Amino acid sequence: MRAVVQRVSEAVVFAGGAVCGSIGAGLLVYLGVERDDDQADVDYLADKVRHLRIFRDEGNRMNLDVAQVGGHVFVVSAFTVAGDARRGRRPTFEGAAEADRAFVLYEVFCDRLAGMGVRVARGSFGDDMEVRSVNAGPVCILVESRRRF
């Protein structure tokens, strides 16, 4: 399981021309579910995202997590995060989980985060979405449950 985590001052997601969710300050998470992912991957990644200290403290150091600043998390499913562009010019998505399995693990991931005391907004799984966000920093962190990078 992989995620691109962005610290944002706001984010809004549209699907089918309508707003499907929005947040103020917090994290925008593009989540990619891989073929071999299971509950252990969900648990690791949810814990990592929830406790990632990328918000500034009173000393202007990135030392606080999303809950400590009262932020929200917006999770957007993005199979392209599981893409592999190491060979050639066209990425392959062979490592991405099938849609049915990915949907289940996406939901479990969101529920796990919510269970850790963070308000979670969700994108529209499997749909084309338009994501508008204001990246604060900019801060973008790559996180992977298998720790291959």
Superfamily assignment of 2-144 in CATH? D-tyrosyl-tRNA(Tyr) deacylase (3.50.80.10)
Question: Would you call the peptide bond into 91 cis, given omega within 30 degrees of 0 as the criterion?
Answer: no
Q: Residue 141 corresponds to which tokens in the numbers above?
A: 């962190």
Give which of 4, 49, 11, 6 is closest to 130, Cα–Cα: 11
- Does residue 149 have a pLDDT over 80? no
Residue spans per domain, the chain: 2-144
Residue pLDDT, tens place only, 26-64: 999 999 999 999 999 999 999 999 999 999 999 999 999
- Give 37's contacts (C-beta < 8 A, 6+ positions apart): 1, 97, 105, 145
Instruction: Give the pLDDT band (50/70/90) at residue 139.
Output: very high
Q: Is residue 45 within a helix (H) or strand (E), and if so which, with residue range?
A: helix 39-51
Q: Considering the entire predicted model, what is its pTM?
A: 0.95
Instruction: Give the pLDDT band (50/70/90) at residue 23.
Output: very high
Residue pLDDT, tens place only, 62-92: 999 999 999 999 999 999 999 999 999 999 9
What are the distances in angstroms from CA 12 to CA 101, 106, 120, 130? 26, 19, 13, 8
